[in-house]
Chains A and B, each alone.
Chain A
């Protein structure tokens, strides 16, 4: 049974801890062991043992093999994510396109009737005006596109 006072215990524990730390430092610095107590020498032996490398080691090819595996898996995951994103975008484009076709089918009659009644549509539907616009557009195209210019010669 423990008959020591708590203060004695605390002081003794603190002294012991300091001894442990001192032995670690002594062993690190390879200091002389002259005059050391048996207790301190045991801590130094302990420090020396704990400083030794662990016998078991990772395989020599651990780093290249693991790095290659991790990077390949990450690239595969990135590709899968990209494919999923492209698929999702295509799906939404198809849905919006379908909605546009349905809306056009339902409401196009009203829109065309409304457009036809405007004065602009009267002007646009004039065949001479359309011919003029066509000529202007064609000459502009010939100006900006060299390959079309060569073909036209």
Chain B
């Protein structure tokens, strides 16, 4: 039997420990999405709780059309996005029409990778630059790199078109590369 189906049926049958197992399996994904969106520990924890509450209440509506992972990720993403919108914070879902021409020019420079890896200052600058990206771009980068998800799967979680995701990833990486160049 499909492991997703077995897990969902166990939770719906209210078997002891089934929901806890589901939470254990998907808490990492939920946290990565929510924390990257909100960047606030307590808010992110509350939104994770709300996500799992919503999952528990609506699990009977899950139709196995996509893997459970993406369904739960979608719930987490939607709740975190609505949280930002309620607080009137910019989500960055829309792509800014800035011109990346300067960053695309070829430059003959050098870069000491090993030194940069060991330089705490560079790492700090990069983390700050990642934190300064719009919430949606931060989340897309996390899903693509940390969760190692390809673009079609990210599209299932976020509901964004694949082209928009590609564009967000391209622009955010370009911006971060510029930060490394300036530093």
Task: Give chain A's interface residues, CB within 8 Å of chain B.
Answer: 2, 4, 9, 12-13, 16-17, 20, 24, 28, 33, 38-39, 41-54, 56-59, 62-64, 66-67, 69-71, 73-74
Q: Hey, which chain A residues are within 8 Å of B107, CB to CB? A: 38-39
Residue of A nearest to B48 (CB): A58
Residue of A nearest to B174 (CB): A16
Q: Are A48 and B20 also in contact (CB < 8 A) when A2-B99, A16-B170, A38-B110 are?
A: no
CB distance from A24 to the nearest CB of B (A): 7
Q: Which of A4, A46, A53, A70 meets B146, CB within 8 Å?
A: A53
Known interface pairs A16-B170, A64-B20; 17 further A-B residue pairs with C-beta atoms within 8 A, sorted by A's residue number: A12-B101, A13-B100, A46-B176, A49-B126, A51-B146, A53-B146, A54-B35, A57-B31, A58-B48, A62-B27, A62-B48, A63-B23, A63-B24, A66-B23, A66-B49, A67-B20, A70-B49
Q: Hey, which chain B residues are within 8 Å of A57, CB to CB? A: 31
Q: By the criterion CB–CB under 8 Å, are A42 and B180 in contact?
A: yes
Q: By the criterion CB–CB under 8 Å, are A56 and B35 in contact?
A: yes
Complex CA distance for A13 and B99, rounded to whole angstroms? 11
Residue of A nearest to B45 (CB): A58
Q: Which of B56, B104, B130 meets A13, CB within 8 Å?
A: B104
B141 close to A (CB within 8 Å): yes
B95 close to A (CB within 8 Å): no
Task: Give chain B's interface residues, CB within 8 Å of chain A.
Answer: 14, 19-20, 23-24, 27, 31-32, 35-36, 41, 44-45, 48-49, 52-53, 56-57, 99-101, 103-104, 107, 109-111, 113, 116-117, 122-123, 126-127, 130, 141-142, 144-146, 148, 166, 169-170, 173-174, 176-177, 180-181
Complex CA distance for A110 and B130, rounded to whole angstroms? 89
Q: By the criterion CB–CB under 8 Å, are A54 and B36 in contact?
A: yes
Q: By the criterion CB–CB under 8 Å, are A20 and B170 in contact?
A: yes
Complex CA distance for A45 and B112, rounded to whole angstroms? 10
6 contacts between A and B (CB under 8 A): A39-B111, A42-B181, A49-B126, A49-B130, A58-B48, A62-B45
Q: By the criterion CB–CB under 8 Å, are A50 and B142 in contact?
A: yes
Complex CA distance for A71 and B59, rounded to whole angstroms? 13
Q: Are A50 and B104 also in contact (CB < 8 A) when A20-B169, A42-B181 are?
A: no
Q: Are A50 and B141 also in contact (CB < 8 A) when A17-B170, A44-B113, A45-B113 are?
A: yes
Q: Hey, which chain A residues are within 8 Å of B111, CB to CB? A: 38-39, 41-42
Complex CA distance for A39 and B107, rounded to whole angstroms? 9
Q: By the criterion CB–CB under 8 Å, are A56 and B113 in contact?
A: no
Q: By the criterion CB–CB under 8 Å, are A70 and B52 in contact?
A: yes
Complex CA distance for A117 and B118, rounded to whole angstroms? 110
Q: Hey, which chain B residues are within 8 Å of A24, CB to CB? A: 144-145
